[in-house]
């Protein structure tokens, strides 16, 4: 074994989840490959997620037509932007925080889908029961 191998072997290894030199977030350093992936928190909670993760491009979701594209951009780039713009002590902490955002994002998405289905079900039931008809609806719309 030469000197270089002895030094590398003797160097202490960081425990899992603890960043090594150059991987601490919030300093615009490179993002570890294991953190790349879809961000459901950014996709579902857009501007709220953006504020919490100092990713203010999320405010583009308030611009009509841009918002349709921006939610997908946030989903695809969310983890990267959060890593670059917010301080995390370790990879494990980053995963924990983003997992919470994912959980709440999916809960909100699920509730939204459920409410949409129930609303359409109620509308269809009202039409099917005869309680309302197309003429009633057309006569009550204010132009």
What is the predicted pLDDT for the residue at 130? 84
Q: What is the pLDDT of residues 61-88, one digit of tens each?
A: 999 999 999 999 999 999 999 999 998 8
- Report the share of the chain in percent with pLDDT over 70: 75
Q: Report the mean per-residue pLDDT for the chain.
A: 83
CB within 8 A of 101, min separation 6: which ones?
A: 39, 40, 41, 42, 45, 49, 52
Q: Please say whether the beta carbons of 80 and 36 come within 8 A.
A: yes
Q: Is residue 26 part of a domain?
A: no
> Residue 128 sits in which domain range?
34-140
State how many domains the chain has: 1
Q: Is residue 6 part of a domain?
A: no
Q: Is residue 13 part of a domain?
A: no
CA torsion sign for 70, 74, 80, 81 is positive
Q: What is the pLDDT of residues 90-132, one digit of tens each?
A: 889 999 999 999 999 999 999 999 999 999 999 999 989 988 8
Say which residue, 21 or 126, is predicted with more confidence. Answer: 126
Q: Is residue 15 part of a domain?
A: no
Model pTM?
A: 0.70
Q: How confident is the model at residue 134 (pLDDT cuts 50, 70, 90)?
A: confident
């Amino acid at each position: 074994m030469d000197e270089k191998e002895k030094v590398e072997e003797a160097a202490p290894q960081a425990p899992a989840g603890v960043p090594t030199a150059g991987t601490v977030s919030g300093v615009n350093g490179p993002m570890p490959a294991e953190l790349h992936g879809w961000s459901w928190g950014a996709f579902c909670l857009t501007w709220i997620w953006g504020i919490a993760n100092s990713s203010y491009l999320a405010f583009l979701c308030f611009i009509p037509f841009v918002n349709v594209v921006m939610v997908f951009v946030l989903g695809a780039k969310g983890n990267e932007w959060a890593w670059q713009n917010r301080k995390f002590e370790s990879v494990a902490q980053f995963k924990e925080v983003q997992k919470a955002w994912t959980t709440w994002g999916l809960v909100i998405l699920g509730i939204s889908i459920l409410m949409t289905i129930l609303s359409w079900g109620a509308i269809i039931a009202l039409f099917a029961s005869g309680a309302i008809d197309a003429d009633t609806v057309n006569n009550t719309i204010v132009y």
